[in-house]
Structure 1
Amino acid sequence: MRSRVSIRKPTEDDWQALLVLHQASQEFHFPWAFPALTEEGCKAYIRRCQNDDFEGLLICHRESDRIVGVANLSQIFYKAFQNAYLGYYGSAEFAGQGLMTEGLRLVIDYAFFNLGLHRLEANVQPENQRSIALIQRLGFTEEGFSRRYLYINGAWRDHERWALTVEDWV
């Protein structure tokens, strides 16, 4: 079955669509994610996607080409590690339709087979059950618990550490 979504790198022209998605989904993302809510913030994100150790990918609906979500591969390491951290968030408008699951499958394929990575790690706050269910559907395995791991929304937040290797994906 052909995926209902595709992935692509953002271009300079995407800042407005990202801003609309971020502003319209602000309540949906709270308190887990805080994407840029200004023009400059969205443009800075797109510039960051040009860094060698960061891949930002837009998950787009095939029929309308609208952005349904964003996936980021950050702190990309090669040589003996071949690892990246996977972060993601979706549009409130498209929530519950399985589009992020389809999109993240494409992102994982891209990470393993285009970038040549061996391992992806996703860190999720334990209370974010929708996100945990998503990475479980994708085959990630829980590896541990990181106390006060990331500073989010004014406090250091605990995270569950989940990972997926290429051997588990193929």
Structure 2
Amino acid sequence: MLVGTRVTVRPVAAEDGAAFVVLARQSLRLHRHLIYAPTTATEFGRYLARFDGVAAVGFVVRLNGSGELAGLVNINDITWTPERRGFLGFGGFAATSGHGYVGEAVRLVVRYAFEDLGLDRLEADVQPVNAASRKVVERAGFRLLASPPKAIRIDGEWRDHERWVLTAEDARAAERPQPETTPDR
């Protein structure tokens, strides 16, 4: 379990299914053409089965205090050799969107990916029109690497994405205290 100031992130489990599916259905307009979130029990079962702890790990985001389900964060397509990397996926639910909960959860999962999993690199694909997701990866320290056209298929259509990257080295450097500077006079 990863505990932040406002959210707790824990591995997704079968017991999350009912609430997850309801919230995903309520969030169809928010997610449309941006991310995939299962909206049936069968889809949730397939979604859950993807997370084997080796090639993929999946998390749910819950609000501290109320325990309300606020979103999801995944690390997919993890490769262990020759480089240790994975692809970050994330999304919020409409009922709690716009409050920065998923952004906080992403930063917790990024730390987990580098410190606990020992990954060297995380990448995130974000559609150029998705300003909220761009803000999440920017605030987490990712930098824009490339913009491959028609990179990911969502809702049966190939869509343009921007590829964002964060290395363990860059993440560690960002966490180090920076020396104080004095203004030039």
Distance 2:128 2:22 in 1: 28
CA offsets 1:14-39 (integer angstroms, 9 cap, x no match): 11011111011111111201211111
Distance in 2 between the 1:49 and 1:154 partners? 23
Q: Give per-residue Cα distances to partners, 1:76-114, cap 9 Å, x unaligned.
A: 011321000001110111111111111111110111111
- Residue 146 of structure 1: aligned partner: 148
Bigger proportion of residues as strand = 1
Contact kept in structure 1, 2:121 and 2:165, CA below 8 Å: yes
Flag the structure with larger Rg.
Answer: 2
* Corresponding position: 1:6 with 2:8: yes
| Equivalent residue for 1:136, pick from 135, 138, 141 | 138
Give yes or no for the alignment of 1:117 onto 2:119. Answer: yes
2:68 & 2:119 partners in 1: Cα distance?
28
Q: How many residues align?
A: 169
TM-score, normalised with respect to structure 2: 0.87
Gapped runs of 5+ residues in structure 1? none
Alpha-carbon RMSD across the aligned residues, in angstroms, is 1.2
Residue 135 of structure 1: CA displacement? 0.8
- Quick one: percent identity of the two aligned structures? 34
Q: How far, CA to CA, are the matches of 2:166 and 2:53 in structure 1?
A: 23
| Distance (whole Å) between structure 1 residues aligned to residue 115 and residue 121 of structure 2 | 11
Q: In the alignment, which residue of structure 2 is the partner of 1:108?
A: 110
Taking the aligned partners of 1:124 and 1:28, their CA distance within structure 2 comes to 15
